[in-house]
Amino acid sequence: ANVIEIENLHYTYRDGTKALDGLNLTIEDGARVALLGPNGAGKSTLLLHLNGIYQAQQGKVKVQGQELTSRNQQWVRGVVGLVFQDPDDQVFSATVWEDVAFGPTNLRLSKDEIASRVEGALAAVRMAKYRDKAPYHLSYGQKKRVAIAGVLAMNPRVIILDEPAAYLDPCGKDILMDILSRLNQNGATVVIATHDVDLAAEWAEQVLVIKDGRTLAQGGTSLLADEH
Ligand code: ADP
Ligand code: ADP
Protein backbone atom coordinates (compact mmCIF):
# COMPACT_ATOMS: atom_id res chain seq x y z
CA ALA A 1 0.00 0.00 0.00
CA ASN A 2 1.07 3.61 -0.49
CA VAL A 3 1.84 5.52 2.68
CA ILE A 4 2.07 8.82 0.75
CA GLU A 5 0.18 9.90 -2.38
CA ILE A 6 0.45 13.32 -3.96
CA GLU A 7 -1.82 14.46 -6.75
CA ASN A 8 -1.32 17.59 -8.81
CA LEU A 9 0.28 19.60 -6.01
CA HIS A 10 0.89 23.29 -6.64
CA TYR A 11 2.62 25.77 -4.36
CA THR A 12 3.53 29.38 -5.09
CA TYR A 13 5.45 31.53 -2.60
CA ARG A 14 4.23 35.03 -1.78
CA ASP A 15 6.81 36.65 -4.03
CA GLY A 16 5.32 34.71 -6.96
CA THR A 17 7.94 31.90 -7.15
CA LYS A 18 6.23 28.73 -8.35
CA ALA A 19 7.97 26.03 -6.28
CA LEU A 20 5.60 23.13 -7.05
CA ASP A 21 3.85 22.98 -10.38
CA GLY A 22 1.46 20.03 -10.59
CA LEU A 23 3.59 17.44 -8.80
CA ASN A 24 2.47 13.78 -8.57
CA LEU A 25 4.15 10.96 -6.67
CA THR A 26 3.52 7.87 -4.56
CA ILE A 27 5.65 6.30 -1.84
CA GLU A 28 5.09 2.73 -0.74
CA ASP A 29 4.85 1.81 2.92
CA GLY A 30 8.21 0.47 4.13
CA ALA A 31 10.18 1.82 1.15
CA ARG A 32 13.66 3.32 1.15
CA VAL A 33 13.36 6.33 -1.10
CA ALA A 34 15.62 9.04 -2.49
CA LEU A 35 14.03 12.25 -3.63
CA LEU A 36 16.52 13.69 -6.08
CA GLY A 37 16.69 17.01 -7.81
CA PRO A 38 18.96 20.01 -8.30
CA ASN A 39 18.92 23.01 -5.95
CA GLY A 40 15.68 24.90 -6.42
CA ALA A 41 13.78 21.85 -7.76
CA GLY A 42 11.16 22.09 -5.00
CA LYS A 43 12.34 19.32 -2.64
CA SER A 44 12.22 21.32 0.60
CA THR A 45 8.85 22.81 -0.32
CA LEU A 46 7.52 19.31 -0.94
CA LEU A 47 8.87 17.96 2.36
CA LEU A 48 7.16 20.75 4.28
CA HIS A 49 3.84 19.55 2.81
CA LEU A 50 4.37 15.95 3.86
CA ASN A 51 4.04 16.61 7.56
CA GLY A 52 1.51 19.41 7.37
CA ILE A 53 3.74 22.46 7.91
CA TYR A 54 2.60 23.73 4.49
CA GLN A 55 -0.90 23.13 3.15
CA ALA A 56 -1.68 22.36 -0.48
CA GLN A 57 -2.79 25.48 -2.34
CA GLN A 58 -4.09 23.24 -5.11
CA GLY A 59 -4.05 19.42 -5.40
CA LYS A 60 -3.91 16.76 -2.68
CA VAL A 61 -1.46 15.29 -0.22
CA LYS A 62 -2.59 11.98 1.32
CA VAL A 63 -0.88 10.16 4.17
CA GLN A 64 -2.08 6.64 4.99
CA GLY A 65 -5.02 7.34 2.68
CA GLN A 66 -6.11 10.48 4.55
CA GLU A 67 -6.10 13.81 2.76
CA LEU A 68 -4.18 16.40 4.78
CA THR A 69 -6.21 19.41 5.88
CA SER A 70 -5.98 22.02 8.62
CA ARG A 71 -7.88 19.57 10.86
CA ASN A 72 -5.43 16.67 10.90
CA GLN A 73 -2.11 18.54 11.19
CA GLN A 74 -1.52 17.28 14.72
CA TRP A 75 -2.12 13.70 13.63
CA VAL A 76 0.19 13.85 10.61
CA ARG A 77 3.05 15.24 12.68
CA GLY A 78 2.97 12.02 14.67
CA VAL A 79 2.96 9.86 11.53
CA VAL A 80 5.56 11.70 9.44
CA GLY A 81 8.78 12.87 11.15
CA LEU A 82 10.85 15.54 9.43
CA VAL A 83 14.59 15.99 10.04
CA PHE A 84 15.79 19.38 8.80
CA GLN A 85 19.06 19.84 6.97
CA ASP A 86 20.60 21.88 9.76
CA PRO A 87 20.37 20.32 13.26
CA ASP A 88 20.77 23.79 14.78
CA ASP A 89 17.19 24.41 13.63
CA GLN A 90 15.98 21.41 15.62
CA VAL A 91 18.26 20.74 18.61
CA PHE A 92 17.98 23.36 21.34
CA SER A 93 17.66 21.81 24.84
CA ALA A 94 20.26 21.89 27.60
CA THR A 95 21.05 18.18 27.37
CA VAL A 96 20.78 15.48 24.73
CA TRP A 97 18.30 13.54 26.87
CA GLU A 98 16.01 16.56 27.33
CA ASP A 99 16.16 17.33 23.68
CA VAL A 100 15.01 13.87 22.63
CA ALA A 101 12.36 13.86 25.39
CA PHE A 102 10.85 17.15 24.18
CA GLY A 103 8.34 15.65 21.71
CA PRO A 104 7.15 12.74 23.88
CA THR A 105 6.82 15.13 26.86
CA ASN A 106 4.50 17.33 24.78
CA LEU A 107 2.41 14.26 24.03
CA ARG A 108 1.90 13.97 27.82
CA LEU A 109 3.07 10.36 27.87
CA SER A 110 3.92 8.70 31.19
CA LYS A 111 7.41 9.15 32.61
CA ASP A 112 8.23 5.50 31.96
CA GLU A 113 7.02 5.68 28.37
CA ILE A 114 9.05 8.86 27.77
CA ALA A 115 12.17 7.28 29.25
CA SER A 116 11.78 4.14 27.20
CA ARG A 117 11.27 6.09 23.97
CA VAL A 118 14.26 8.37 24.62
CA GLU A 119 16.53 5.43 25.45
CA GLY A 120 15.36 3.52 22.38
CA ALA A 121 15.87 6.53 20.10
CA LEU A 122 19.34 7.33 21.49
CA ALA A 123 20.39 3.70 21.11
CA ALA A 124 19.13 3.65 17.51
CA VAL A 125 21.39 6.58 16.59
CA ARG A 126 24.25 5.31 18.79
CA MET A 127 24.21 8.34 21.07
CA ALA A 128 23.23 6.70 24.39
CA LYS A 129 26.48 7.57 26.10
CA TYR A 130 26.06 11.27 25.29
CA ARG A 131 22.69 11.56 27.05
CA ASP A 132 23.85 14.09 29.68
CA LYS A 133 25.98 16.19 27.32
CA ALA A 134 25.01 19.62 26.07
CA PRO A 135 24.19 19.38 22.34
CA TYR A 136 26.21 22.59 21.97
CA HIS A 137 29.41 20.61 22.64
CA LEU A 138 28.73 17.86 20.12
CA SER A 139 30.11 17.57 16.61
CA TYR A 140 27.86 18.46 13.69
CA GLY A 141 27.27 14.78 12.84
CA GLN A 142 26.44 13.94 16.45
CA LYS A 143 23.97 16.84 16.61
CA LYS A 144 22.37 15.51 13.46
CA ARG A 145 21.94 12.12 15.14
CA VAL A 146 20.33 13.82 18.17
CA ALA A 147 17.88 15.58 15.83
CA ILE A 148 17.03 12.21 14.29
CA ALA A 149 16.56 10.67 17.76
CA GLY A 150 14.12 13.47 18.62
CA VAL A 151 12.07 12.53 15.58
CA LEU A 152 12.30 8.78 16.31
CA ALA A 153 11.03 9.31 19.86
CA MET A 154 7.69 10.27 18.31
CA ASN A 155 7.47 6.76 16.77
CA PRO A 156 6.80 8.03 13.23
CA ARG A 157 5.80 5.60 10.48
CA VAL A 158 7.65 7.73 7.91
CA ILE A 159 10.97 9.50 8.48
CA ILE A 160 12.00 12.19 6.03
CA LEU A 161 15.46 13.76 6.00
CA ASP A 162 16.47 16.86 4.06
CA GLU A 163 20.06 16.40 2.77
CA PRO A 164 21.05 13.96 5.56
CA ALA A 165 24.68 13.71 4.47
CA ALA A 166 25.32 17.45 4.05
CA TYR A 167 28.48 18.63 5.83
CA LEU A 168 29.28 15.13 7.17
CA ASP A 169 32.70 13.58 6.64
CA PRO A 170 32.73 10.16 4.88
CA CYS A 171 32.77 8.28 8.19
CA GLY A 172 29.90 10.31 9.67
CA LYS A 173 27.99 9.80 6.45
CA ASP A 174 28.47 6.00 6.56
CA ILE A 175 27.32 5.83 10.18
CA LEU A 176 24.24 7.88 9.40
CA MET A 177 23.23 5.94 6.28
CA ASP A 178 23.72 2.70 8.19
CA ILE A 179 21.40 3.98 10.94
CA LEU A 180 18.80 4.88 8.31
CA SER A 181 19.07 1.42 6.73
CA ARG A 182 18.46 -0.19 10.09
CA LEU A 183 15.39 1.98 10.77
CA ASN A 184 14.06 0.93 7.38
CA GLN A 185 14.71 -2.77 8.16
CA ASN A 186 12.68 -2.28 11.34
CA GLY A 187 9.71 -1.20 9.26
CA ALA A 188 9.92 2.58 8.87
CA THR A 189 9.50 4.23 5.49
CA VAL A 190 12.64 6.36 5.06
CA VAL A 191 12.82 9.20 2.53
CA ILE A 192 15.97 11.23 1.93
CA ALA A 193 15.93 14.40 -0.14
CA THR A 194 19.29 15.03 -1.77
CA HIS A 195 21.05 16.39 -4.81
CA ASP A 196 23.73 13.67 -4.40
CA VAL A 197 23.11 11.13 -7.19
CA ASP A 198 25.83 8.76 -5.91
CA LEU A 199 24.32 8.65 -2.44
CA ALA A 200 20.87 7.94 -3.91
CA ALA A 201 22.23 5.18 -6.16
CA GLU A 202 24.10 3.57 -3.27
CA TRP A 203 21.40 3.72 -0.63
CA ALA A 204 17.87 3.92 -2.07
CA GLU A 205 15.53 1.30 -3.55
CA GLN A 206 13.11 3.76 -5.03
CA VAL A 207 14.08 7.02 -6.71
CA LEU A 208 11.94 10.07 -7.40
CA VAL A 209 13.47 12.74 -9.59
CA ILE A 210 12.03 16.23 -9.14
CA LYS A 211 12.69 19.23 -11.36
CA ASP A 212 10.97 22.60 -11.71
CA GLY A 213 8.32 21.54 -9.21
CA ARG A 214 7.30 18.36 -11.03
CA THR A 215 8.18 14.68 -10.92
CA LEU A 216 10.43 13.88 -13.91
CA ALA A 217 10.78 10.17 -13.16
CA GLN A 218 9.85 7.61 -10.53
CA GLY A 219 11.27 4.07 -10.34
CA GLY A 220 14.19 1.89 -9.23
CA THR A 221 17.84 2.98 -9.02
CA SER A 222 18.34 1.86 -12.65
CA LEU A 223 16.82 5.27 -13.43
CA LEU A 224 20.13 6.76 -12.34
CA ALA A 225 22.30 4.68 -14.68
CA ASP A 226 22.37 7.43 -17.30
CA GLU A 227 23.58 10.00 -14.83
CA HIS A 228 26.86 8.20 -14.03
P1 ADP B 1 15.11 22.54 -3.21
O2 ADP B 1 14.84 22.09 -1.81
O3 ADP B 1 14.93 21.46 -4.23
O4 ADP B 1 16.42 23.26 -3.35
P5 ADP B 1 13.09 24.55 -2.67
O6 ADP B 1 11.80 23.90 -2.36
O7 ADP B 1 13.91 25.07 -1.54
O8 ADP B 1 13.97 23.59 -3.60
O9 ADP B 1 12.82 25.77 -3.65
C10 ADP B 1 11.96 25.70 -4.77
C11 ADP B 1 11.85 27.10 -5.38
O12 ADP B 1 11.15 27.95 -4.47
C13 ADP B 1 13.18 27.78 -5.65
O14 ADP B 1 13.03 28.57 -6.80
C15 ADP B 1 13.38 28.64 -4.42
O16 ADP B 1 14.19 29.74 -4.72
C17 ADP B 1 11.97 29.05 -4.10
N18 ADP B 1 11.74 29.32 -2.66
C19 ADP B 1 12.02 28.50 -1.61
N20 ADP B 1 11.65 29.06 -0.46
C21 ADP B 1 11.13 30.28 -0.76
C22 ADP B 1 10.56 31.33 0.00
N23 ADP B 1 10.44 31.28 1.33
N24 ADP B 1 10.13 32.44 -0.67
C25 ADP B 1 10.23 32.51 -2.01
N26 ADP B 1 10.74 31.54 -2.78
C27 ADP B 1 11.19 30.44 -2.18
P1 ADP C 1 22.23 25.65 1.56
O2 ADP C 1 22.01 27.04 1.03
O3 ADP C 1 22.69 24.66 0.52
O4 ADP C 1 21.09 25.13 2.39
P5 ADP C 1 24.04 26.87 3.54
O6 ADP C 1 25.43 27.17 3.14
O7 ADP C 1 23.06 28.01 3.62
O8 ADP C 1 23.51 25.71 2.57
O9 ADP C 1 24.09 26.14 4.96
C10 ADP C 1 22.96 25.56 5.55
C11 ADP C 1 23.16 25.53 7.06
O12 ADP C 1 24.24 24.63 7.42
C13 ADP C 1 23.52 26.90 7.61
O14 ADP C 1 22.72 27.15 8.76
C15 ADP C 1 24.99 26.80 8.00
O16 ADP C 1 25.24 27.51 9.20
C17 ADP C 1 25.19 25.32 8.24
N18 ADP C 1 26.55 24.91 7.84
C19 ADP C 1 27.16 25.20 6.68
N20 ADP C 1 28.39 24.67 6.63
C21 ADP C 1 28.56 24.00 7.81
C22 ADP C 1 29.62 23.23 8.36
N23 ADP C 1 30.76 22.98 7.71
N24 ADP C 1 29.45 22.71 9.60
C25 ADP C 1 28.32 22.92 10.25
N26 ADP C 1 27.28 23.65 9.79
C27 ADP C 1 27.39 24.17 8.58
Reported ipTM exceeds the 0.85 cut: no
Please tell me the number of the ligand nearest to residue 39's CA: 1
pTM for the model stands at 0.87
Decide if pLDDT at 9 tops 60: yes
Please, what sign has the CA dihedral across residues 163, 85, 54, 109? positive
Local confidence band at 227 (pLDDT 50, 70, 90 cut-offs)? low
Mean pLDDT, residues 160-187 taken together:
91
**What is the C-alpha separation between 86 and 141, in angstroms, rounded?**
10
**What is the C-alpha separation between 158 and 5, in angstroms, rounded?**
13
Decide if pLDDT at 226 tops 80: no
Residue closest by Cα to atom 21 of ligand 2: 167
3-state secondary structure of 137: helix
* 176-223 residue pLDDT tens: 899 999 999 999 999 999 999 999 999 999 999 999 999 999 999 888
Please, what sign has the CA dihedral across residues 52, 150, 93, 171? negative
Q: Ligand 2 pocket test: which of 44, 45, 47, 86 has the largest number of ligand atoms within 8 Å of its C-beta?
A: 86
